[in-house]
Amino acid sequence: MIFSVRAARRCAAVGLLALAVPTVAQSAPNASTQLRAYRINPGDEVEIYVWGEERLQRIVKVLPDGTFSFPLVGQIDALGKLPADIETLVSKGLRSQYRDTVPQVTVSVKSPMGLQFSVAGKVKAAGAFTAGRYVNVLEALVMAGGPADFADVGNVAILRKSGTGLNVIKVRLTDILKGNPSGRDLAGLPQLESGDTVIVP
């Protein structure tokens, strides 16, 4: 009887410990499923809808300098902004046109063609890609047909523009491509930004 009581207490303690300490497998989905809000890039098509004002409903294309023009508002700097930010800018620009409240403004990205990246080096289909959504470095490699023979997937580099220079982000994909991802891999692979170049040596 004493043994069974002790065993029961020990099992209860182990159960509480298991609940208190999450495993890598439990915590990984939270890190990998977080979605980034889309920020506007040059080349994107943006739909702007001003409720009750058909004359102010437009689909505009963001220019290479990150701007676009809108009636009664003028030039709007959209580069790197969220659709909600553009809604605020358009509403402020229209404020002088209305005595009362400005109609609700809705902005959505109709065609995210501005999010582009390149994959070069030892891959099966190197080139420039337009994903239409944020992708991580592994997804970019898949879009390029996967690594070619003798590719050094343990030394992949992401080249990212920073002002007038470049930042280099090193990524090791060896374990994850073998189907045995490490804890670091499960914590989240680097997501690409517009203009990035992935180099597979």
Return the pLDDT at 164.
83
pLDDT along the chain (201 residues), means of 10: 46 41 37 66 94 91 95 94 95 90 92 90 95 89 95 95 88 90 78 93 95
Return the pLDDT at 178.
87
The CA dihedral of 79, 84, 90, 92, to the nearest 10 degrees, is -110
Between CA 158 and CA 195 the distance in angstroms is 10
Between CA 108 and CA 81 the distance in angstroms is 12
CB-based contacts of 11: which residues, under 8 Å, 6+ apart? none
CA distances from 35 to 32, 134, 135, 136 (A): 8, 8, 10, 11
Q: In what order do the strands lie in the sheet with 156-162?
A: 127-130, 116-121, 197-200, 156-162, 165-171
Give the predicted TM-score (pTM) of the model.
0.67
Return the pLDDT at 13.
43
- Domains of the chain with bracketed CATH: 45-111 (3.30.1950.10), 115-200 (3.10.560.10)
Q: In what order do the strands lie in the sheet with 105-111?
A: 58-61, 45-50, 105-111
